[in-house]
Amino acid sequence: MKPSPACASCFQPEKLTNGVKRLIFFFALCLYTSLAAKPTDSLDLKIGQLLMVGFRGVSVSDTSPIVQDIRHGRIGGVILFDYDMLQKKSGRNIQSPSQVKSLCATLHSYSPTPLLIAIDEEGGKVNRLKPKYGFPQTVSAAYLGRLHSLDSTRLYATRTATLLSELGINLNFAPVCDVNVNPQNPVIAKLERSFSSNPDSVATHATAVVNAHRMKHILTALKHFPGHGSSQGDSHLGFVDVSSTWNRVELTAFQTLISQGNADIVMTAHIFNAAWDTLPATLSKKVIQGMLREELNFDGVVCSDDMQMKAIAAHYGLEDALKLALNAGVDMLIFGNNLDYDEGIAEKACMLIKGLIGRGEIKQERIEEAYQRVMRLKSHL
């Protein structure tokens, strides 16, 4: 019997090669997913996967503290910065495209499990890969919102995602889903980080950014839940109360992207609202479990904004902050090591969390739940 044209086409070498590659990738992914989060993993390893830290250096070696953290499973990810806030100088982790690519490749090579390498590459003023280091010029979310051309948003987002992929960075802490409620907001509006004062427009452009990154296999994080756009203060600097300014329209973009399955990670804001809780959002079970998990039906990874920001660090000790954040439902804790610097923060956090578990102040089931979410996220890399 003569094979049909459809059957005959299956045996074309170039198609067979692509098909075999896809098949191998599929089975490898299934195998990784089943093995990566196996229940026999130690408690230390599970806690480590919940921590992301920043570090100093444009290159690393066997003796680098960050490498020791990676090799011993004390962290699940790192975050890169171009400017060192404490030393007040540029070149912290970023000097040139070739240097960043080499740094990322080296970091990945030391990790026994897939390593998250993250960056805040929103574009415009919040941009770590600057032209002065040899990277392309970027534009802000506000610029794209004013232009209101989805083709333009997709174009710039694709350029960013392509660059991150080439460098070896696999997580972009973007897009900003905050609505531009307060035009005088010092940390959102003044830095042109919001797409628009129209919540539907924010959702539309944020969706385009996420999809462009997914095409290049780059994870994204929607921020800053449940909405930082109406604030009058900067949570990097201290306590921020939005009790009299926050509006439910600020949930719109988060709700839209989550319902569409376009949310890999949701990053919390360190903002306080008396109508929500007596705690800031990052530490609030009512916000994370109630609003985000139950109301918006999000079951992905929840990550904190930098736990060393003054809105948290100036009001809560490290142990209390860890306990409250994890019990609230945060799955991944970020220590940027840029507003404060502690090379031993990962080991210190792990020891404190283990102590909290030992005393019954954090349930081990909560760690297991967060760990499974993080490993499921990493399986998409």
Tens digit of pLDDT for each residue in 241-266?
999 999 999 999 999 999 999 999 99
Give the SS3 label for residue 221.
strand
Q: Is residue 27 part of a domain?
A: no
287 assigned to some structural domain: yes
Distance CA 354, CA 336 (A): 21
Specify if 32 maps to a domain. Answer: no
Neighbours of 216 (CB within 10 A): 17
- For residue 228, whether the previous peptide bond is cis, meaning omega lies within 30 degrees of 0, is no
Q: Is the dihedral of CA 264, 293, 187, 141 positive or negative?
A: positive
Look up the domain containing 110 and give its range: 44-378
List the structure tokens of 315. 């009001």
The one catalytic residue in 72, 108, 148, 236 is 236
* Helices and strands of the chain, counted as H and E runs: 14, 12
Q: In the structure encoding, which two tokens stand for residue 272, read together?
A: 């306080």
Three-state DSSP state, 17: helix
Does 2 reside within a domain?
A: no
Q: What local confidence, expressed as pLDDT, does residue 41 receive? A: 73
**Known catalytic residue at 41:** no
**Lookup: tokens for 93:** 């982790």
Question: Residue 236 catalytic?
Answer: yes
Residue 22 belongs to a domain = no
Task: Please identify which of the residues 69, 178, 305, 306 carries the catalytic annotation.
Answer: 305
- Structurally, the chain folds into a number of domains equal to 1
Q: How confident is the model at residue 234 (pLDDT cuts 50, 70, 90)?
A: confident
pTM over 0.75: yes
Would you say residue 186 lies in a domain?
A: yes
Residue 183's CATH number = 3.20.20.300
181 domain-assigned: yes
Region 112-121: what's the mean pLDDT? Answer: 97
In angstroms, rounded to a whole number, what is the distance separating the alpha carbons of residues 304 and 286?
15
Residue 334 lies in a domain: yes
Note the pLDDT of residue 131.
Answer: 98
pLDDT of residue 293 exceeding 60, the answer is yes
Instruction: Centre a 10 Å sphere on the Cβ of residue 313 and count the other Cβ atoms it contains.
Output: 18
Q: Are 209 and 216 a contacting pair, CB within 8 Å?
A: no
Kindly report the backbone phi and psi dihedral angles of residue 177, in degrees, each rounded to the nearest multiple of 5, phi listed first: -105, 10
Beta bridge partners of 225: 268
Give the list of residues 6+ apart from residue 28 with CB closer than 8 angstroms, or none.
none
